[in-house]
Structure 1
């Protein structure tokens, strides 16, 4: 006989009770480097066009454009810093939780039985700072993939080994 009893929602474990761990504070250097590098290319290109190819490039608005880009860098740096402070992760017996976002906070909880693939990646700057990115891919197209950037290399490797052990127990 089919049974579909109602669940007492108050008795379910709450993800808010999990003590989430922040990512490494060194990761902010990578974020700021990427910001400066990207806008640096734009600024160098504008200045090169003005002084190498055409003295009247954008006319009187050239310095307003430069000031606007510098203001945009400042605003984006502030939001980047505030967003960085919200990046946290946590492990429980049966799932992993990742939370990020200053204006719009997104919390993803991925049950281990949905984990399909795990990898660790390290960019050039990440290697220099001893950081890694742990990527956890879920089964299906639910958008539940988690990418935790800014973990110390040893922490990422420990989490990777822990998750691999759990995946191997399923097989």
Structure 2
């Protein structure tokens, strides 16, 4: 017969008590370099065009745009720095948990039996700093995919091997 008994919520394990591992500090450099490259190239382009332009209205616009982009890049850097401290992960025998966010923290826990596919990605800059991204794709379209960016290469490969073993044992 079907039963759907109520669970005592206070007896459930708490995510806050989970030992979360921080992302490697070098990933913060990746974030800052990316901000610098994106905003810096736009600012540099505006400054170069402004230098050779005779149009006063464009020169005025370019000046305001450069100031605005500088402020936005500083604000973005501060947000990334504050959010970096919230990037943490934990691996347990039955699931993996990843927490991240800037102003709002998002925590995703993905049971191993829902993992469909694994991938390790390394951008040029991440390779130079010895970092990798472990991408974990889940079953369904619920948005439960996890991409843990900023893992040291050996840690990402170890976790990849562990999760691959778990998935293969399931089959």
When normalised by structure 2's length, the TM-score is: 0.94
Deviations 1:107-163 (A, max 9, x none): 000011100101100000111100000000000001000000000000000110110
2:56 is paired with a residue of what secondary structure? Answer: coil
5+ unaligned residues in a row in structure 1: which ranges? Answer: none
Map of 2:153 onto structure 1: 153
> How far 1:55 moved relative to its partner?
4.7
Map of 1:85 onto structure 2: 85
Map of 2:41 onto structure 1: 41
1:58 is paired with a residue of what secondary structure? Answer: helix
> How far 1:48 moved relative to its partner?
2.1
Contact 1:23–1:149 (CA<8 Å) still a contact in 2? yes
Contact 1:133–1:148 (CA<8 Å) still a contact in 2? yes
> Relative to structure 1, is the Cα distance of residues 71 and 99 closer, same or farther in structure 2, using a 3 angstrom cutoff?
same
Map of 1:105 onto structure 2: 105
Q: Distance in 1 between matches of 2:60 and 2:52?
A: 17
Map of 1:140 onto structure 2: 140
Q: Distance in 2 between matches of 1:64 and 1:5?
A: 63
Is 1:116 paired with 2:147? no
Deviations 1:17-71 (A, max 9, x none): 1110000000011101110100112112211221224352524443332222211
Is 1:69 paired with 2:77? no
Q: Distance in 2 between matches of 1:29 and 1:7?
A: 45
Contact 1:89–1:99 (CA<8 Å) still a contact in 2? yes
RMSD between aligned alpha carbons? Answer: 1.4
Contact 2:53–2:59 (CA<8 Å) still a contact in 1? no
